[in-house]
Each structure stands twice: as C-alpha cells, then as structure tokens.
C-alpha cells in the first residue's frame, strides 16, 4: 500500500509449484513520495530472481517526469549490481516524446534511466520496439493514448514471447475508449513468457 491516505498499492503473485519465496518481502519508499516498490527474492527452479513491482508518479508534464526520474534513480540504486531482476509496473513514463497537458513537448527521462542501469524491456526485445500504447483512456475533457506500463529484465532473464495489445479497432468501437463495462481499466495487461538462467540460452525471442 502507498504511504499517506492513498488507498491503492502494488502486489506480487507467483506459482507455488514452480517458484519459491526466499526471505520476507521488502517495501521500498521512492524518493520521498507516497509511492513505493515491492521487492521479493524468488527462486525460479532454484535460480534467484529479484522480482519488483511498482507504480510511479502519474502526470503528463515536466514536473511529474522529473519526479518519476528520481523514483527510477532510487530503484536503480538498489538494483545495482544485481544479476537477475524482473521489474514490472505502471511506470506512468512514456518511452517516446509526449505532449504535455500545457501544450509543450517532453522527451522521456525516466525510461532511459532504467535502461542505463542494465534493464531491458521485454516487449522491445521481442517486438523490436515498445507497444504503440499500453493505456488508451477516454477522459471527460481529453483522450490519452500512451505506453505507460513495462516489464523490464536484466541478467539471465530472456523474454521469449509477449501478448500483443488489443486491436485499436476494438478500442475505437467504444466512444469511452477505456475503461468500459466490458474492460474496466484504462490500462491493458502485459504478459511475458521468460526463460531464466541456463534455460534461457536455449531460447531466442520469438514472435508475438
């Protein structure tokens, strides 16, 4: 759960038949904000992986992106020099130049920080680029379509397959875009098959 009066938070789930928990979970505060990351050391068939999920500061403006960049730096300071890391989350950080609500344009700052500390995007590794969108929201005063969500990995974790985003024709069929009664979220699920450790050497990124 976030700090302060926020009611939302983050969670990690894993399959007990394949994955073992090692040690207690750690809640990591992020750069003096209410946001947190949840970190858990897991054993995938005996191979240690640091699994992390988080939800960074929202906002399509320079101030929000700078806050996210500080949150990313706080996370990266914990990761280095970690080997196998799997980081998942709604980072609220576009990977391409984005149009701010004040009419200006902002270049990405947060995602390059994660890449500089050795994390690779699983979707980019498989598809050759990030999805065109992971969120497509129809707000009362505007429409927002952007890539905000990521699965990032490092070390001996190899992404093999990913789930494609919904067809834009399906999204455009609703004047509300998302969320709707049929799909009650403005973010789409990211699903990635990964191979860990020595098994990863047998795999190469495959088709979507």
Per residue in 129-180, pLDDT (tens digit) is 999 999 999 877 778 999 999 999 999 999 999 999 999 999 999 988 999 9
pTM score of the predicted model = 0.91
Confidence of residue 7 (pLDDT cuts 50, 70, 90): confident
What is the token pair recorded at 10?
């983050």
- From the DSSP assignment, how many helices (H) and strands (E) are in the chain? 4, 13
**Beta-carbon contacts of residue 63 (< 8 Å; ≥ 6 apart):** none
Sign for the pseudo-dihedral over CA of 39, 43, 47, 53: negative
């Amino acid at each position: 759960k976030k700090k302060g009066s926020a009611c939302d938070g983050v969670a990690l789930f894993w399959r007990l038949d394949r994955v073992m928990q090692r040690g207690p979970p750690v809640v990591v505060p992020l750069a003096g904000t209410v946001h947190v990351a949840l970190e858990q050391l897991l054993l995938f068939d005996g191979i240690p992986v640091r699994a992390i999920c988080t939800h960074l500061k929202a906002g399509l403006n320079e101030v929000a992106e700078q806050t996210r960049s500080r949150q990313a730096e706080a996370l990266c300071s914990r990761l280095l020099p970690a080997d196998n890391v799997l980081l998942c989350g709604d980072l609220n950080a576009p990977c391409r130049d984005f149009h701010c609500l004040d009419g200006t344009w902002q270049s990405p700052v947060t995602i390059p920080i994660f890449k500089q500390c050795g994390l690779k995007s699983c979707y980019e590794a498989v598809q050759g680029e990030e999805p065109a969108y992971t969120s497509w929201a129809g707000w009362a005063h505007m429409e927002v379509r952007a890539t905000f969500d990521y699965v990032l990995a490092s070390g001996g974790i190899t992404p093999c397959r990913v789930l494609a985003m919904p067809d834009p024709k399906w999204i455009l069929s609703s004047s509300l875009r998302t969320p709707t009664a049929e799909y009650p979220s403005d973010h789409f699920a990211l699903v990635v098959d990964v191979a860990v450790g020595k098994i990863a050497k047998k795999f190469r990124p495959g088709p979507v």
